[in-house]
């Protein structure tokens, strides 16, 4: 693992930078923008990141790796994900240039940069380190389903679809709980969360038999230092492509409480126009039922990514969600996660008293400064 905090980072998102098309980049920039010196996308060169995203102002978008090198980065993050393990041909020369310049490379692509013969040889010559984050841990084991032995409160964000705010909600809940003095840890299960927090495993790179076991171990490690453990969700249990990792993570984490994440006005799975979303009430029932195979868990709140809705329209939409589900709902960015933490505190108080014993460790710092 290459630590990113305090490093000078350039983000490569050539041809794809944007709120929807480069989730890795935009998530990292929301929480770690102070470390970013440039974003690379030839289409948007000359623009300011803040004008594109609405946050992370003052970071330039530049044309190429060569242009970014003038700002003296020492790390290049590949800021997009791809739906295959092929590396776009037009990216190869730019990544090679960054390696030759001695930049460390951090990539969450399914394509492994570190084992590519050309890149490997260039890195040996320049001293560049390459971290392919989609590598499973060296030690793998199946789940033991014994997290019920821990006296810690486990929260898990689940979704109606991909890219609906599961990671952001988990981070925001962690920060809100820590500000209240609740010793809370964030468990990253995808590359963006790993870059932001400095730890975790990209569970979508773990062989399917071991997803639950890896998730269990991540929770166990966090529970050594925190009273609350908030686990980042992946995919959606109803998703036509990614339901497997969702269920493995749900069963491995063995949560007490669930936060259901959704996107306003979304009707079909993104990229699958023939697969309509299930209703929120149906998803609540489904997630609770599947979780109960190992331990009872309750959806206690809804987090809705309201996208381009203004605050007034977002508030109206959230009110409708609350009426539909009977649960508190918020947009974590527009309105914060106080409602969700309130709901979690109330639900935690209903659980066996052994969960109320404070941990001896001092409270952790927030995951990142927003």
pLDDT at 361 over 50: no
Residue with structure tokens 């993050």? 77
Beta-bridge partner residues of 77: 11, 106
- ∠ CA 120-134-220, nearest 5°, is 130
> Are 191 and 238 in the same domain?
yes
| Domain harbouring 85, CATH code | 3.40.50.720
> Are 288 and 248 in the same domain?
yes
What six digits make up the tokens of 4?
């990113």
Asked if 48 contacts 30 with a C-beta cutoff of 8 angstroms, the reply is no
What is the C-alpha separation between 117 and 223, in angstroms, rounded?
Answer: 40
On whether residue 161 sits in a domain, the answer given is: yes
Give residue 51's domain range: 9-132
Q: How many CA atoms lie within 13 A of 100 on its CB side?
A: 10
> Are 339 and 264 in the same domain?
yes
pLDDT at 359 over 60: no
What six digits make up the tokens of 112?
């492994």
Q: Count of domains in the chain?
A: 2
Helices (H), 238-310: 243-253, 280-291
pLDDT single digits (tens) 302-330: 999 998 899 999 999 999 999 999 999 99
What is the C-alpha separation between 281 and 322, in angstroms, rounded?
Answer: 11
> Are 87 and 171 in the same domain?
no
Task: Name the average pLDDT for the chain.
Answer: 93
Please give the average per-residue pLDDT across 106-122, as a whole number.
95
What is the C-alpha separation between 272 and 246, in angstroms, rounded?
Answer: 17
pLDDT at 51 over 80: yes
Residue 221 phi, psi (nearest 5)? -65, -40
pTM: 0.91
Which residues, 6 or more positions from 58, have their beta carbon under 8 angstroms from its beta carbon?
48, 49, 50
Asked if 367 contacts 174 with a C-beta cutoff of 8 angstroms, the reply is yes
């Amino acid at each position: 693992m290459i630590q990113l905090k305090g490093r000078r980072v350039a983000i490569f998102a050539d041809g794809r930078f944007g709120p929807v098309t480069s989730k890795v980049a935009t998530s990292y920039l929301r929480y770690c923008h102070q470390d970013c010196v440039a974003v690379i996308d030839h289409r948007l060169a000359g623009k300011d990141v803040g004008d594109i995203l609405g946050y992370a102002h003052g970071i330039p978008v530049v044309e190429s790796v060569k242009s970014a090198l003038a700002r003296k980065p020492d790390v290049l993050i590949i800021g997009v994900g791809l739906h295959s393990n092929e590396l776009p041909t037009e990216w190869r020369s730019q990544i090679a240039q960054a390696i030759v310049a001695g930049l460390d490379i951090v990539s969450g692509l399914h394509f492994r940069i570190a084992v590519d013969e050309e890149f490997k040889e260039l890195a040996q010559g320049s001293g560049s380190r390459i971290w392919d984050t989609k590598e499973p841990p060296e030690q793998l084991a199946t789940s033991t389903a014994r997290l019920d032995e821990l006296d810690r409160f486990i929260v898990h964000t689940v979704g109606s679809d991909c890219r609906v705010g599961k990671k952001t909600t988990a981070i925001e809940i962690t920060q809100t709980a820590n500000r209240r003095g609740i010793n809370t840890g964030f468990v990253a299960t995808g590359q963006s969360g790993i870059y932001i927090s400095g730890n975790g495993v990209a569970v979508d790179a773990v062989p399917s038999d071991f997803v639950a076991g890896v998730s269990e171990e991540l929770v166990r490690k966090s529970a050594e230092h925190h009273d609350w453990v908030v686990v980042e969700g992946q995919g959606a249990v109803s998703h036509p492509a990614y339901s497997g990792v969702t269920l493995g993570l749900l069963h491995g984490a063995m949560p007490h409480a669930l936060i259901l994440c959704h996107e306003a006005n979304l009707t079909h799975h993104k990229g699958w126009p023939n697969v309509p979303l299930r209703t929120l009430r149906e998803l609540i029932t489904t997630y609770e039922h599947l979780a109960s195979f190992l331990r009872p868990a309750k959806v206690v709140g809804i987090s809705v990514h309201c996208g381009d809705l203004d605050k007034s329209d977002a508030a109206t939409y959230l009110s409708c969600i609350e009426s539909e589900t009977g649960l508190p709902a918020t947009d974590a960015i527009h309105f914060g996660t106080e409602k969700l933490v309130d709901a979690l505190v109330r639900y935690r108080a209903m659980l066996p008293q052994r969960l109320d014993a404070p941990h001896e460790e001092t409270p952790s710092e927030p995951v990142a400064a927003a």
